[in-house]
Amino acid sequence: MSYGVPSAEPSAQVPVCPRHPDRPSYVRCQRCGRPACPDCQRAAAVGFQCVDCVNETSRTTPQVRTVYGGAVASGKPVVTYGIIALCAVMYVLQWVVPGQVVYEQFAYNNVFATPEYGVFEPWRMLTAAFLHSPDSVLHIALNMYTLWIFGQALEPLLGRARFLALYLISAVGGSVGYLLLNPVLVPGQGLVGVVGASGAIFGLFGAMLLVQRHRGGDTRQLWVLIAINGVIGFLIPQIAWQAHLGGLVTGALCAAILAYTPRGRRQGLIQAAGLVAVVLLLTLASWVKISM
């Protein structure tokens, strides 16, 4: 008896990734059914999806936003950490760079906002908020600790962009407060620079007060905190309470715009216009002061 050799069946076509035709791909997208290689697979609730379907879903799905219009961001408050890191780097540079070059280039004094003295550098109103006294580690430590506490609370509520705008505008507001409530040259002191994030920190105090009130929370502890820090500014010499007050008022004003703008499609546009109006108001107040 003889046995015939069975004919070979045609080999099944090996599926390949549409993005990488040279790669066999036996895993298929749960959404479109196309093969996807390991580089093009994205974990889904069930199985995997290809990168094209994930991108399409992200484009068509409305972005989740907080009640204040900011994009909901999971994870760590990166803006808060970024500001702390920048302040730390600048503090190290104040020690490393010979002389007082960093201090002289970025510290603020009312003279730098007054063109008649021949040195008009208004950007120092902002850069001074990233410097701290090199003679006191406690200065930067307390400011950064407070920023860390309030940043973790406010940044997720407002959104990263709005929180950053609030912080920067409050920093400028602190310098403007110092300009408005002080003579250009303090008698008996000469050209004394103002540094520190305290104006911006007080801006976060004012913002948290407005946000907490808007949410219906208890604000008594915040009032006590603001009162204690305000009194310290008068009791301890070489503390610019004027910058604290300017930052507090500016931060509260910015937060009022962010919190009380009605929700809707134009919420972000109205909020942006309101914050720009605050900047223009600070500019106008400074111009009136230096024109007197």
Catalytic sites, residue numbers = 198, 244
| Pair 66, 55: CB distance under 8 Å | no
Rounded alpha-carbon distances, angstroms, from residue 289 to 124, 168, 188, 283, 286: 17, 21, 21, 10, 5
Radius of gyration in angstroms for the set of CA atoms belonging to the chain, rounded to a whole number: 28
| Pair 176, 168: CB distance under 8 Å | no
| Closest to 103 (Cα-Cα) out of 114, 91, 112, 119 | 91
Give the helix/strand (H/E) hosting 146: helix 137-158
Which tokens hold the place of 199? 């104006």
The residue assigned the tokens 């008896």 is: 1
Q: Please give the single-letter amino acid code of residue 234.
A: F
Neighbour-count burial for 10-30, b at 16+ CB within 10 Å, e otherwise: eeeeeeebbbeeeeebebbbe
Which tokens hold the place of 41? 């697979």
Residues 6+ away with beta carbon under 8 Å from 48? 27, 29, 30, 36, 41, 42
User: What are phi and psi for residue 249, nearest 5 degrees?
Assistant: -65, -45
DSSP string of 203-255, one letter each residue: HHHHHHHHHHHHTT---HHHHHHHHHHHHHHHHSTT--HHHHHHHHHHHHHHH
Distance CA 144, CA 43 (A): 38
